[in-house]
Amino acid sequence: MAAAARVFLEHGYAGATIPAIAAEAGVALQTVYRAAPSKAGLLEAAVTAAVAGGSERAAVPVEQRPAVRAVIEETDPYRQLALYARTQPGIWSRVGPLLRVLEAAAASEPDLGRLQQEQDAQRLAGLTRFARLLQERGALRAGLTPEHAADIIVTLGSLATYNSLVVTQGWTDDQYEAWLADTLQHSLLA
């Protein structure tokens, strides 16, 4: 998956070929086809691995990964949101470039458009569960539903926001993380 990611980043989706990915990985062509049945499948697997921080971590269900478990198990809502914010710079720095490849290719590849929609739906579903946990603990501000709270988390913690502040404006990851934690806390908590 790391080799596939490198080839997609260097050549874009259209320019990436299965033989080039096999050569980059130093494996036989058949090995690549066993990893994923298509080029779209390889990009999907590369994106999934990048989000998780590697192929081995991607095999672990999201809510069982250590950083996510720490967020779930933290009982202080301010600390929960700070822990969540801590995860975001690493995720976006790893997966952001691949998501740009995915976005560029999705217009002409229906499977990739579906992948984008699935990624967005999975993220929203996970963050809605997080917002419900905050609600169950009595932490959400009055009148804020878990669904609206999840919309706020998705928007503030989006790749577009990360790119705007870190990539375009030159913020450090630490500055972004602190801003995100503070903004989420003020936007969501009672």
All domains in the chain, ordered by first residue: 1-60 (1.10.10.60), 61-190 (1.10.357)
* Structure confidence by residue, pLDDT tens digits, 37-85: 889 989 988 998 998 888 888 889 989 999 999 999 999 999 999 999 9
DSSP structure string for the chain = -HHHHHHHHHHHHHH--HHHHHHHHTS-HHHHHHH-SSHHHHHHHHHHHHHHTSHHHHTS-GGGSHHHHHHHH---HHHHHHHHHHHHHHHHHHHHHHHHHHHHHHTT-HHHHHHHHHHHHHHHHHHHHHHHHHHHTT-BPTT--HHHHHHHHHHHTSHHHHIIIIIIT---HHHHHHHHHHHHHHHHB-
- Which bin fits 87, alpha (ψ -120 to 50), beta or left (φ > 0)? alpha
Residue 9 has pLDDT above 90, yes or no: yes
Query: 95, 6 in Cβ contact below 8 A?
Result: no
Specify the pLDDT at position 65: 93
* Structure confidence by residue, pLDDT tens digits, 130-187: 999 999 999 999 999 999 999 999 999 999 999 999 999 999 999 999 999 999 999 9
